[in-house]
Amino acid sequence: MRFYMVVCPDGWQLVGEVVSPDTPRAVVVVGHAMMVDRRTLDRPRGSGLISQLVSRNLAVVTADLRGHGQSGPRAAEGGRWSYDDLVENDVPALVDFARQKFPGLPLVCLGHSLFGHAALAHLTRHPDAPIDKLVLLACNYVHPEWPLGAIVDKGSLMLLMSGLSRLFGHLPARRLGAGSDDEAAPFVDDFVRCLRLGDWRSRDGFSYAAHRVRVKTPILAIAGAGDRLLAPPAQARSLVAACPNSRFHIAGRRTGLAFDPGHMALVLDQRARPVWEQIANFALSDRSIT
């Protein structure tokens, strides 16, 4: 394991680590969900998702996204960032670093929730980005296919989050017991803006949703059967349905797991190991979709 720091195009510094076997066959850039940091991706340390990938001869590059973990300043310290900052700065910075660190190897992006849909958004705007495959774990963002129930349920949650972020100057996830990392107010506002537009759209008006058809990168999208609110399977499916080279899978009892995982359980629960194996197989396969 080696720690590193990468500087994003806008100057923000991300802190992360590289974990690699002696002879890796591919490199996986692994990113975390909102309101948490990279520690969720290998818990317990040494036997979590990242360690499982390394045991399959995959090199892993992971980092705390801006404002999270060691990639400060945090929101409570005055750090401010938008969703587009992640899409246009964090994602390409980590991909470029991984390419330089492991030249010539196939590169896969694996995102749990936030990093996953941010990487997909990046590909909609930059379909030729040097990402060979993309894995989306429990990924969902406002998009036109959301049913009315999702708009009502998640819309209410987003408005509450927005109100709290305005009250405190940021979303106090730690104080609320909702996660280990707070979120910046502009980032939360982007969710509400997209909800009002009924579209997955950048601040400059680019529709990530409308350009999903441009993404030819092979995609494996996985949702937990027990995820009722943040990334229910139907919404996770519709997020990638327009991508021409995507495959969708529901992880749960009906597909061979011992349980129906919720949003965080896909990366935190050891019973999700068959899912992690599925990801490794996809990353190592010579075919586009396994």
Q: What is the pLDDT of residues 132-148, one digit of tens each?
A: 999 999 999 999 999 99
pLDDT tier at 287 (50, 70, 90 boundaries)? low
H/E segment holding residue 62: strand 58-63
In a domain, 124, yes or no: yes
Q: Is residue 176 part of a domain?
A: no
Name the H helices within 169-248.
173-176, 185-197, 233-240
* Percentage with pLDDT > 90 across the chain: 96
For residue 40, the surrounding DSSP H or E stretch is: none
Any domain includes 225: yes
Q: What CATH number did the domain enclosing 254 receive?
A: 3.40.50.1820
Backbone angles phi, psi at 95, to 5 degrees: -65, -45
Report the residue count for the chain.
290
**Coil vs helix vs strand at 9:** coil
- Residue 48 domain-assigned (yes or no): yes
pLDDT of residue 47: 96
For residue 24, whether the previous peptide bond is cis, meaning omega lies within 30 degrees of 0, is no
Residue-range definition of the domain harbouring residue 68:
2-147+207-284
pLDDT tens track for 11-29: 999 999 999 999 999 999 9
C-alpha count within 13 angstroms, C-beta hemisphere, residue 168? 20
Residue 133 near residue 167, CB atoms below 8 Å: no
pTM: 0.97
In-domain check, residue 192: no
d(CA 59, CA 103): 12
Structural domain count of the chain: 1
> Angle 148-168/185-197 helices, nearest 10 degrees?
150
Query: How remote is the C-alpha of 69 from its chain's centroid?
Result: 15
Beta bridge partners of 134: 109, 219
What pairing do the DSSP bridges indicate for beta strands 170-171 and 183-184? antiparallel
